Amino acid sequence: MAEMLRELRTALIWAGFGLGLVFATRPVWSFLLFGFNPTLDDLLSLRCFGL
């Protein structure tokens, strides 16, 4: 029983680490996965300032 609880605790730690890594790198992979999705402010700055 103690061995199973130790393995469960280790698995929960690794799962938390994995979720943290996914959320921390979201700006990078969401841009690569979903592409460029400009907001109205982005479009206006591109149009008005020629960036």
Over residues 4-16, the pLDDT tens digits come to 999 999 999 999 9
Q: What is the pTM of this model?
A: 0.58
User: Using CA atoms, how far apart are residues 10 and 30, in angstroms rounded to an integer?
Assistant: 29
% residues pLDDT > 90 (the chain): 45
Mean pLDDT of the chain: 84
Element containing residue 26 per DSSP (H, E): helix 26-34
4-29 average pLDDT score: 94
Grade residue 51 by pLDDT with cuts at 50, 70 and 90. Answer: very low
